[in-house]
């Protein structure tokens, strides 16, 4: 049995980082707030407030079409990478660990796109699960693996 854990928003991943990392989403949202009059982000930010993911969630919930498009595009690219990864690596499960999916509507959108795009694949796609986000979960998993490899495996 093999598993893959996908940690996003913390490690560079080439093109995916540009579309789906927290830092790039915030950079793009900052540009939106500076250039578009119609974005809700202008109403929730002042000159001293630094944009964060919760601001994007709030704008998303208020129906800001620019933020909705930004986040849905990130999820679309992530889904494409996950399905390609599932075709390349024989894994029973793929775990996603990201603060983006603390927002339940975005989690639903991820699963909707996975179902839509995976219908074109032969066979069943791997089971892709969202691991509840915690700042320390990745570090704990890495430490547990290191302990297992250095002491328990012998």
Residues forming beta bridges with residue 96, ordered by sequence position: 6, 130
Render pLDDT for 125-136 as a digit per residue (tens, 0 to 9): 557 888 888 878
The predicted pLDDT at position 123 comes to 46
Cβ–Cβ under 8 Å, residues 79 and 115: no
CA dist 137 and 102 (Å) reads 14
> Among positive and negative, which fits the CA dihedral 95, 100, 102, 107?
negative
CA dist 7 and 5 (Å) reads 6
Instruction: Label residue 109 by pLDDT band (50, 70, 90).
Output: very high
For residues 60 and 32, which has the higher predicted lDDT (pLDDT)?
60
| Cβ neighbour number for residue 7 with a 10 Å cutoff | 16
Report whether pLDDT(146) > 70.
yes
Q: Starting at the earlier edge strand, list the strands of the sheet with 127-130.
A: 3-7, 93-97, 127-130
- What structural domains does the chain harbor? 3-152 (3.30.420.40)
Render pLDDT for 79-104 as a digit per residue (tens, 0 to 9): 888 888 777 777 777 888 888 998 99
């Amino acid at each position: 049995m093999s598993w893959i854990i996908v940690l996003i928003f913390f490690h560079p991943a080439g093109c995916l980082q540009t579309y789906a990392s927290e830092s790039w989403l915030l950079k793009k949202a900052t540009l939106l707030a500076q250039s578009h009059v119609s974005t809700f982000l202008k109403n929730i930010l002042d000159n001293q407030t630094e944009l964060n993911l919760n601001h994007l969630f709030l704008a998303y919930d208020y129906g800001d079409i620019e933020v909705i498009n930004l986040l849905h595009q990130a999820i679309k690219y992530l889904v494409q990478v996950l399905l390609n990864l599932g075709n390349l690596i024989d894994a029973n499960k793929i775990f996603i660990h990201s603060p983006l999916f603390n927002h339940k509507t975005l989690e639903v959108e991820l699963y909707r796109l996975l179902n839509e795009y995976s219908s074109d694949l032969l066979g069943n796609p791997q089971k892709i699960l969202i691991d509840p986000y915690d700042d320390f979960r990745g570090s704990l998993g890495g430490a547990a693996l290191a302990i297992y490899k250095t002491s328990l495996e012998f």
